[in-house]
């Protein structure tokens, strides 16, 4: 989406933000995160790390400012035409007091979880030295709400990211994966396949977990070698147009034994029960329970050690949370993962993950890869 259509969309999003400013008792919103900067301006600069920023947005009822450094100045002017672009040569803390004075800021909303404490202290000190009194309010919940329901073009972008990821995985399984391949090698080849397909990059570091390592929900790829009959777990995702995909598949090379089939079937059935539970107005906690209760009844109580899923969009993890502790309620247009798992230390694990859009009639699954995998010449795992 480009040009005037994107500008009109960003204008509408900014108006929604401005309507929330009064509720926050704030006159200015400071936007710090990659995702929210892009969502509200079109500027695609990425932070280099927790202590390195590509810039910030300052939104008031009548002004839009994008402050950045010399690395991104031209890019910001090109990608964010609705904003006044201000270049800071010596860091945000140096220029922010003057910007806030010019904007007439007295009460500022900001993403508290995205500002390191050291930056907060530097900014507070700079404001004090300028004699400015500015109160700070956490605006992250408001910004989270803005992005939680996806627009059609956002869902289309997620579909593209998912297509890159799934097409790559099919090639990887058909032509690359074989006994003797290490987890590190598998992750690298799958990443290469996604980039060859056209993905902009990875949603997150690929998880390739073989044998006992697959019992670790967020296993780190190592030198363990794939062998026939051992549990294999792959969790991977691609980016397209700034949006993420997230998928997990579990299977074995060659024929699966009865123990593996029992675990896999329990996870598969739990997955389907969760998908059936997805409806607008249903609590995320209830969807989690649909899967978790089935796993417990199947004899694997306590072996599903994480939440059922999470929202996906510009960030790989964003609201809503789909877990036993979640207070979120599903709404039409949300995109969530459904990823139950069973993890047995010393043996391995199985996780099956699809992405779903919450529709008025229930869940629309975006994945086309089957949840089961058939090895040529073998049986469904």
Pure H helices in 208-283: 258-277
CB-count burial class (<10 Å; 0-12, 13-18, 19+) for 73: middle
pLDDT, average across residues 116-145: 91
CA–CA separation, 57 and 38 (whole Å): 10
- Strands 354-359 and 362-365 come out as antiparallel
Backbone angles phi, psi at 379, to 5 degrees: -125, 160
Distance (Å, whole) CA 336 – CA 363: 10
Residue with tokens 């507070």: 124
Mean pLDDT, rounded, for 265-270: 98
Residue 379: predicted pLDDT: 40
In 3-state terms, what secondary structure has residue 336? strand
For residue 23, give the nearest of 107, 96, 90, 88 by alpha carbon.
107
pLDDT at residue 377, as a whole number: 35
H-helix or E-strand containing 4?
Answer: helix 3-21
Q: Residue 48's pLDDT is what?
A: 80
pLDDT band at 4 (very low <50, low <70, confident <90, very high): confident
Neighbour-count burial for 313-323, b at 16+ CB within 10 Å, e otherwise: bbbbebbbbbb
List, edge to edge, every strand of the sheet that includes 354-359.
318-322, 309-311, 335-338, 354-359, 362-365
What does CATH list as the number for 3-147? 3.40.350.10
Q: In this model, does residue 36 exceed pLDDT 50?
A: yes
Distance CA 64, CA 59 (A): 5
Give the Cα-Cα-Cα angle 70, 201, 91 (nearest 5 degrees). 20
| pLDDT, tens digit, 9 for 90 and up, residues 345-360 | 999 999 999 999 999 9
Tell me the per-residue pLDDT of 228-262, one tens digit each, with 9 for 90 and over.
999 999 999 999 999 999 999 999 998 899 999 99
* CB atoms near residue 299 (< 10 Å): 11
Let me know if 329 is exposed, middle or buried by CB neighbors in 10 A (0-12, 13-18, 19+): middle
- Third-level CATH fold of 149-365: Creatine Amidinohydrolase (3.90.230)
How many Cβ atoms from other residues are within 10 Å of residue 126's Cβ?
19
- CA of 52: how far to CAs of 48, 221, 324, in Å? 5, 27, 35
Pick from 47-61, 88-102, 287-301 the range whose average pLDDT is largest.
287-301
CB contact at 8 A, 283 and 326: yes
Burial class (CB in 10 A: 0-12, 13-18, 19+), 66: buried
pLDDT at position 351, please? Answer: 98
Cα 248 to Cα 135, 267, 316, distances in angstroms = 44, 12, 14
pLDDT of residue 1: 57
Residues of the chain with CATH 3.40.350.10: 3-147
Residue 378 has pLDDT above 60, yes or no: no
The segment(s) of the chain belonging to CATH 3.90.230.10 are 149-365
DSSP state, residue 219? P
Name the pLDDT band for 49 (thresholds 50, 70, 90). confident
pTM equals: 0.94
């Amino acid at each position: 989406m480009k040009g005037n259509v994107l500008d009109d969309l960003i204008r509408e999003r900014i108006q929604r933000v401005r309507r929330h400013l009064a509720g926050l008792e704030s006159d200015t919103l400071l936007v710090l995160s990659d995702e929210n900067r892009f969502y509200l301006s079109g500027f695609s600069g990425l932070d280099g790390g927790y202590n390195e920023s590509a810039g910030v947005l300052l939104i008031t009822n009548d002004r839009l400012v994008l402050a950045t450094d010399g690395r991104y100045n031209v890019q910001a002017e090109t990608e964010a035409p609705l904003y006044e672009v201000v270049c800071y040569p010596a860091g945000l803390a140096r220029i922010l007091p003057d910007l806030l004075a010019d904007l007439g800021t007295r009460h500022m909303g900001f993403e508290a979880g995205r500002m390191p404490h050291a930056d907060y202290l530097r900014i507070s000190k700079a404001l004090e030295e300028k004699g400015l009194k500015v109160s700070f309010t956490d605006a992250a919940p408001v910004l989270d709400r803005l992005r939680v329901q996806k627009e059609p073009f956002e869902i289309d972008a997620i579909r593209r990211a998912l297509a890159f990821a799934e097409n790559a995985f099919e090639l990887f399984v058909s032509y690359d994966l074989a006994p003797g391949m290490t987890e590190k090698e598998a992750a690298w080849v799958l990443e290469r396949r996604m980039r060859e397909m056209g993905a902009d990059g990875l949603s997150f570091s690929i998880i390739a977990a073989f044998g006992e390592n697959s019992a670790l929900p967020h296993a780190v790829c190592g030198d363990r070698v794939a062998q026939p009959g051992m549990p294999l777990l792959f969790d991977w995702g691609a980016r397209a147009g700034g949006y993420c995909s997230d998928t997990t598949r579990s299977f074995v090379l060659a024929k699966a034994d009865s123990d593996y089939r029992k675990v896999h079937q329990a996870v598969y059935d739990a997955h389907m029960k969760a998908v059936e539970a997805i409806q607008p107005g249903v609590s995320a906690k209830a969807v989690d329970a649909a899967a978790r209760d089935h796993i417990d009844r199947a004899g694997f109580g306590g072996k599903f050690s994480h939440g059922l899923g999470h929202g996906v969009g510009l960030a790989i993890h964003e609201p809503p949370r789909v877990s036993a502790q979640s207070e979120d309620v599903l709404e039409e247009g949300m995109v969530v993962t459904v990823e139950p798992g069973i993890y047995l230390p010393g043996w391995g694990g199985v996780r099956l993950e699809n992405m779903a859009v919450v529709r008025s009639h229930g869940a629309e699954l975006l994945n086309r890869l089957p949840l089961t995998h058939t090895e040529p010449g073998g049986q469904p795992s």
